Structure 1
């Protein structure tokens, strides 16, 4: 029996998603269907799929409601290969735009919209450039594996950082190294994380800090997707890693350039410990219908 999927296509600095509303949680796409929709030649084309479902209607969402009873909506996020992902920093901003544009939620200026994710509840606000999301706490995690990538002459040590999903950040020496990487191939890590990892390659700005803001450029290979034009949580991990390497006196505000644009990162203290926020644009570009077998 065929079903008609009504969807929106959106992106945050080129990191693109197919979004659809399923408030009751009645439409479960298979990994094969997700991969087919995300295929850039035979499908709609996207880095991932986001299902808008009320938190009360799936187990992970009910856990989010226990954390915050106001987290009515859950971001059910899947990578382009059909695998489940815990969080997506660009995706959650686009999701907030989808919810408000569709009339499923309201987010007046100055107010906060809590959204359930598999990494916990994340608070979203409007900002001057789009949306700002508090990604919560973070931690150094995963050690310092050696990372090798195609067209990288010598393997480099990376820094493992968890911001709700796993990342390894690698510092490169200059722009030429960054531009020369071939990220159509999966970077090889030693040791290899059993659940996979997102890998970010960064170079510092010249100067690294200007007007109190740290500046870096980044490219990323996302697990389950490949190279993307942007990765929100990867941008945050890259800024955290660079601040860690820079040492005492490094700023808490960062501008990170990715192939799809630029995003802002801010680290700030809370009663629970340091949190990190991501700010950037979110756009919906078209709506459509797709028939699925």
Structure 2
């Protein structure tokens, strides 16, 4: 079985092309491949499969009145976390997938062109840009709108290295995130994220946790700046998280509402991402995530 290893700002993935929809990615297979000592090593495994060969993909095709065929497939991102659990959405994974499809000659995408990608969180449009790929991430929202509106926080989060819990704000990007503000880089650097932080109350399906430090100054030349570390559910601490970067920027905008900044640079351990917000007529905000993707190596999995 041929595979490709790729990363997007340090979030790394094993990618498989399955144009006939014949691969069986069971729990044991995924965890073995993603094991960093006994396998290839990755935050997750992505199977590129035509949408019409997936039940979820067929529903999305019908919903968007789109057609996927053998000769002109719409690609579905079948993404599984390193622990074998299903992942709903990952902005870094989408960029890595599209870069893989281009490298494999499965799609053609020149700068400025756009490609639809189906995910478990819905349709995502990916545009090739100078810095890599820009992904339309959909609308962000509060997980608990009532409590968030009242207090700009809806939960308490405690990392293992911290003596006391801190207030946090939970954001949905098609998957759940809980964002915690820290006072400075020293507080961010000393965090221990070897175990999952406790979140009270925990969102119904668990949550990813982002710890963020606003830039000083927060806004430079009309662009907001924030630094973050992330603990991803089903994975652990990762060098980056695309949906997490979007959630971090969204939460910081809530806390600094008077700034009114729509473009953000989010610094992760694996590199910098650009997050932008655009208001819709209904008052909701569309989020776009842009950043690079890199192929590391290709190889063959031997039974």
Would the aligned equivalents of 2:111 and 2:130 in 1 still touch at CA under 8 Å? no
CA RMSD of aligned residues (A): 1.3
* Count of paired positions: 288
How far apart, in 2, do the equivalents of 1:57 and 1:151 lie? 45
Name 2:46's counterpart in structure 1: 50
Question: 1:274 deviation in Å?
Answer: 1.7
1:145 corresponds in structure 2 to: 155
Quick one: which of 274, 279, 294 aligns to 1:283?
294
The match for 1:261 is: 271
Query: Would you say 1:203 and 2:213 are equivalent positions?
Result: yes
Cα drift, residue 166 of structure 1: 0.5
Whole-Å Cα distance in 1 between the matches of residues 110 and 291 of structure 2? 17
**Do 1:36 and 1:43's aligned partners in 2 also have CA atoms closer than 8 Å?**
yes
Deviation at 1:32, TM superposition (A): 1.4
Cα shift at 1:141: 0.6
- Give the distance between the partners of 1:44 and 1:264, measured in 2 at CA: 29
Q: Whole-Å Cα distance in 2 between the matches of residues 126 and 109 of structure 1? A: 5
Q: Which runs of 5+ in 1 are unaligned?
A: none
In the alignment, structure 2 segments of 5+ residues that lack a partner are 69-73, 148-153
Shift of 1:181: 0.5
Q: Supply the distance in 1 between the matched residues of 2:140 and 2:8 (Cα, whole angstroms).
A: 22
Query: Where in structure 1 do 4 or more consecutive aligned residues deviate above 4 Å?
Result: none
Q: Structure 1 length as normaliser, TM-score?
A: 0.95
Distance 2:204 2:37 in 1: 30
CA distance in 2, matches of 1:172, 1:41: 33
Q: Which residue of 1 is the match for residue 5 of structure 2?
A: 9
Structure 2 SS opposite 1:104: coil
CA contact (8 A) 2:11 2:270 kept: yes
What are the within-5 Å matches in structure 2 for residues 1-293 of structure 1?
Answer: 5-68=1-64, 69=66, 72-142=74-144, 144-270=154-280, 273-292=284-303
Secondary structure of the structure 2 residue equivalent to 1:200? strand
Report deviation, 1:63. 1.7
